[in-house]
Amino acid sequence: MTPEQIKLVRDSWQHIEPMEEQVADYFYKTLFELDPSVRPLFKGDIKTQGKKLMEMMGTAVSLLNRNDTLLPIVMKLGERHRRYQVKATHYETVGSALLNTLQAGLGDAFTEDVEEAWTEVYGDLSATMIEAANNSTRPILHIV
């Protein structure tokens, strides 16, 4: 990711954060519509899960230029997701749900550049999580 992309992600996230409960609800609604087979993977209260999602996203966004701190967090998250039976194919659906949610939340502010920046960051984060879940020691995170 370039510094400009990091700025776009951070700036757009600032618009999303005040609506975090609604954003999380929309995200999970979209995710379950895109792939109903993932619903059973969520055992607990979805509101609590949404809060965790938004906290993790906020943490990741704030650490985008600090690989030394972000990388271990993302790798541990990938390892945990393996224990929850998350498959590599699920990450693509999650990415689609994320972009759909960001587009709905940002409206006209969801420009092509913003979409590209989020696609890049999600691609790097999800690839790192998948690698960690597969017990690989080769991190993929390419954020500058």
- Is 80 exceeded by the pLDDT of residue 144? no
Which whole number is the average pLDDT over 109-123?
97
Environment class of 102 (CB within 10 Å of its CB; exposed 0-12, middle 13-18, buried 19+): buried
User: What are 22-41's pLDDT values in tens digits?
Assistant: 999 999 999 999 999 999 88
**For the chain, what percent of residues have pLDDT higher than 90?**
63
Average model confidence (pLDDT) across the chain: 89
Angle at 126 between CA 52 and CA 131, to 5 degrees: 115
Question: Residue 135, by phi and psi: left (phi above 0), alpha (psi -120 to 50) or beta?
Answer: left
Which whole number is the average pLDDT over 65-70?
88
User: What are 72-114's pLDDT values in tens digits?
Assistant: 888 888 777 877 777 878 889 999 999 999 999 999 999 999 9
**For the chain, what percent of residues have pLDDT higher than 70?**
94
